[in-house]
Amino acid sequence: MKTLTVALGERSYPIHIGPDLLKTGSLVADTLPAPRAVLVTNETVGPLYARQLADGLEAAGVTLLDRIELADGEQHKTPATLEQVYDRLLEARADRKTAVIALGGGVVGDLAGFAAATYQRGVPFVQVPTTLLAQVDAAVGGKTAVNHRLGKNMIGAFYQPRVVLADTDSLGTLPDRELRAGFAEVVKYGLIRDPAFFAYLEEHAQAILARDPEALSEAIYRSCRNKAEVVAADEREADQRALLNLGHTFAHAIETGTGYTDWLHGEAVAAGMVMAAEVSRRAGLLSESDTQRITALLKASGLPVKGPADLATDRYLEIMGVDKKASGGAVRYILLEGIGRAFMTAEVPEAVVREAIDACR
Ligand SMILES: O=C(O)C(=O)C[C@@H](O)[C@H](O)[C@H](O)COP(=O)(O)O
Ligand SMILES: [Zn+2]
């Protein structure tokens, strides 16, 4: 097991990464103020891993008051599902010291985290991510949210977990498509701040996607290290945390514009990063060869490098207008000056954005 820390003063917490962790209930129990919790998972992950986690927790003295199984999929990350979680927490008589434990991917973690942030004004929260995307990104850093009809993650809170338990064994049952989607967020870290990691990924992408244990765990560890550093420096996205949004302005438009059903978040991020690279290249910031390296790595990893054929450019711009990074009505984009060098700017002519979207269709 390897352990990293997200350094946030009194709210600092560990990220444990390694095989066979689900059963080690003490890693969670020792972070809780009281030995009781409610487990939130989904209908896919629950039957696979809830028993192991529950046994480990019970052996460590933690009583599970309820196990809530949500429907699987981003289209269920809604205020209506959140309402159901509040109902169950109240029915289980969860009190202010009862922890909410999220077992699953980004949707479960985001929604359960927002429930934990708001139920009785905040109860202890634990992340047990079981997808690559959640282990390298969603479970770390405290962004919690549900989607709104008009935009992705529009209702949410920054709320940090007590511990992140990333059991790499749980990736054994992850569908290939989900693994690839998580890989898009891994590539993101190389692009925004870690060129050596990007080069490592160019070398090891196929090993990672073939689930070679060493390559996979190295990718998770280096991703989490990058994320932990960014979050420790800028927890609430005053400046540099926004770079973690590379590709997401476009990605959220793709997800919202297609009703959260056809595209996985990571797939939309892959296409969105190509669009951001394309804007950067057209603005004279990113070289032709770096643009090609980015597209080549994503393509070789089986990720989409183009957006949906039928999503109109006007619709992208309409959705992007409510992006959370927008300020005073101006959309702010994360662009690249090179591999490992991202920055945020509002100084992008709309015509260039339109050309980039059109070129990626
Ligand atoms: O942790 C962050 O900060 C990120 O932006 C990570 C993203 O990969 C993640 O998709 C996040 O949920 C996006 O958040 P949002 O604030 O753009 O909705
Ligand atoms: Zn993301």
CATH (domain of 168): 3.40.50.1970
Q: Do 123 and 16 share a domain, yes or no?
A: yes
137-157 pLDDT per residue, tens: 999 999 999 999 999 999 999
Q: Examine the domain organization and report whether 181 and 110 are in the same domain.
A: no
- Known catalytic membership, residue 69: no
- Of 173, 191, 215, the residue at which a domain comes to its end is 173
Residue numbers of the domain that contains 34: 2-173
Q: Domain with 349 in it: what CATH number?
A: 1.20.1090.10
Tell me the backbone φ, ψ of residue 357, rounded to 5 degrees: -65, -45
- Residue 142 tokens read as 């405290």
Tokens representing 47 are 């039957």
Per the CB < 8 A criterion, the answer to whether 232 and 145 are in contact is no
What value of ipTM does the predicted structure carry?
Answer: 0.99
Token output for 34: 């009281």
- Distance from C-alpha of 324 to C-alpha of 279, rounded to nearest angstrom: 19
Indicate which ligand has the atom closest to the C-alpha of 189: 1
Residue 156 shares a structural domain with residue 190: no
Is pTM beyond 0.90 here?
yes
Q: What is the dihedral angle through the alpha carbons of 65, 144, 315, 178, rounded to the nearest 10 degrees? A: -70
16 belongs to the catalytic site = no
Active site includes 299?
Answer: no
Classify residue 171 by burial, with Cβ atoms within 10 Å: 0-12, 13-18, 19+.
Answer: buried
134 within 8 A of 105, measured Cβ to Cβ: yes
Cβ 241 under 6 angstroms from ligand 1: yes
Work out the number of other CB atoms within 10 angstroms of the CB of residue 192. Answer: 25
Which residue, 9, 23, 3, 63, is CA-closest to 39? 63
Phi first, then psi, for residue 92 (nearest 5°) are: -80, 0
* Tokens 């060098």 sit on residue: 341
Catalytic residue check, 204: no
Atom of ligand 1 nearest to the CA of 230: 3
pLDDT at position 214 is: 97
Domain identity same for 80 and 48: yes
| Residue labelled with tokens 């994320």 | 227
Residues 152 and 183 in one domain: no
Which ligand 1 atom is at minimum distance from the Cα of 248? Answer: 17
Q: Same structural domain for residues 188 and 312?
A: yes
> Which listed ligand is nearest to 245 at the C-alpha?
1
Domain boundary among 173, 199, 231: 173
348: helix, strand or coil = coil
**Is 187 a pocket residue for ligand 1 (Cβ < 6 Å)?**
no
Which residues 6+ apart lie within 8 Å of 85 measured at CB?
40, 68, 70, 111, 112, 115
Is residue 164 located within the same domain as residue 261? no
* Annotation marks residue 325 as catalytic: no
Atom number in ligand 1 closest to CA 227:
1
Residue nearest to atom 13 of ligand 1 (CA): 245
The whole-number average pLDDT for the span 11-18 is: 98
* Residues 302-356: tens digit of each pLDDT: 999 999 999 999 999 999 999 999 998 899 999 999 999 999 999 999 999 999 9
Answer whether 322's CB lies under 8 Å from 151's CB.
yes
CA of 83 to the centre of ligand 1 (A): 23
Other beta carbons within 10 Å of 173: 12
Co-location of 301 and 217 in the same domain:
yes
Decide: 153 in ligand 1 pocket, CB within 6 A: yes
How many other CB atoms are there within 10 angstroms of residue 44's CB atom? 20
Known active-site residue 36: no
Helix, strand or coil, per DSSP, at residue 1: coil
Using the 3D structure, point to which of 173, 195, 224 is the last residue of a domain.
Answer: 173
| Total domain count, the chain | 2
What pLDDT, on the 0 to 100 scale, is given for residue 100?
99
Q: Is 185 in the pocket of ligand 1 (CB under 6 A)?
A: yes
Calculate what percentage of the chain has a pLDDT beyond 90: 99
**For 97-109, what is each residue's pLDDT tens digit?**
999 999 999 999 9
- Strands (E) located in the chain: 2-6, 13-18, 36-42, 63-70, 99-104, 125-129, 143-148, 151-158, 164-167, 333-338, 341-345
> Are 142 and 231 in contact, with CB atoms under 8 Å apart?
yes
CA distance 22 to 55: 9
* 136 and 233, same domain (yes or no): no
Cα–Cα distance measured from residue 110 to residue 67, given in angstroms and rounded to the nearest whole number: 17
Question: Is residue 255 within 6 Å of ligand 1 at its C-beta?
Answer: no
Q: How far is the CA of 151 from the centre of ligand 1 (A)?
A: 13
Does 77 sit in the ligand 1 pocket, CB within 6 Å? Answer: no
Q: Are 324 and 256 in contact (CB under 8 A)?
A: no
Residue 305: phi, psi to the nearest 5?
Answer: -115, 10
Within this chain, do residues 20 and 160 fall inside the same structural domain, yes or no? Answer: yes
